[in-house]
Amino acid sequence: MKLRNSGREAEKIEPQMAPMIDVVFQLLIFFMLTLNIVEPEGDFNVNMPITNSSEASDEPLLQTDIKVRLIANEDGSLNNIRVGQNNLGNGPNVFAGLNNEILLYIIKPGSAISKDMEVELEADYNLHYEYTLKAVSACTGRLDPSGKHIVRYIEKIKFAPPVGRPTEGS
């Protein structure tokens, strides 16, 4: 039996790198191509149980309801926000104003009355959806100063039928 010459250094086996690199590059290209960058998206949850409009009108309007009226210009941009009888205008800080206004109603975030309160949004038919969404956001809360957590104001949001619906066929 022939024994290996232990005196000689064991020969180093070179693994074949080329095929591995080929495959690895293929994988790399595959993952690079399938990558699609998606902006993080968030939700605003709104519960809207089915109500008959006739029933709704019979129900006495609760004192705790806050009515927010969103008035649009002809082109669908925001003209005015009205909370109760207060006009907030349409300036750049109007949603911060709406946020403050809601805070006045609920006194303190998380207070007992804020649980029962409801915000009713009444928007013009042609108002752009982004303003409605911002109004929903302003009513539901604000970010705390650290910007990480949401301070909840009012969770219950409902929509009144839109104002100024175009007539059929127009």
Partner 1 sequence: MKIKGKKPAVADVDMTPMIDIVFQLIAFFMVITNFEQIQADERVKLPSDSLAKPPEVKAADELVLNIGFDRNAAGEITDPEAYIFYNGEQIPVLKFGPKFEQEARIYKQKNQDPKDVPVILRADALVKTGLVQDLIKLAQENGFTKFAFKATQKIE
* List of residues contacting partner 1 (CB under 8 A): 17, 20-21, 24-25, 27-28, 31-32, 34-35, 38-50, 70, 76, 123-134, 136-137, 140-143, 147, 150, 159, 161-162, 164-165
Minimal distance, residue 143 CB to partner 1, in Å: 6
**Of 101 and 124, which CB lies nearer to partner 1 in the complex structure?**
124
Minimal distance, residue 125 CB to partner 1, in Å: 3
**Of 116 and 130, which CB lies nearer to partner 1 in the complex structure?**
130
Interaxial angle between packed helices 129-140 and 94-106, expressed in degrees from 0 to 180 and rounded to the nearest 10? 30
Cβ atoms of 82 and 127 within 8 Å: the answer is no
**Of 6 and 38, which CB lies nearer to partner 1 in the complex structure?**
38
**Of 1 and 18, which CB lies nearer to partner 1 in the complex structure?**
18
Q: What is the C-alpha to C-alpha distance for residues 116 and 100, in angstroms, rounded to an integer?
A: 18
Residues 6+ apart with CB under 8 A from 37: none
Q: What is the C-alpha to C-alpha distance for residues 151 and 141, in angstroms, rounded to an integer?
A: 5
Cβ atoms of 99 and 143 within 8 Å: the answer is no
Minimal distance, residue 13 CB to partner 1, in Å: 15
Cβ atoms of 89 and 80 within 8 Å: the answer is yes
Minimal distance, residue 3 CB to partner 1, in Å: 30
**Cβ-based burial of 80 (10 A; exposed 0-12, middle 13-18, buried ≥19):** middle
Question: Which tokens sit at 149?
Answer: 């957590």
Minimal distance, residue 21 CB to partner 1, in Å: 7
**Of 20 and 107, which CB lies nearer to partner 1 in the complex structure?**
20
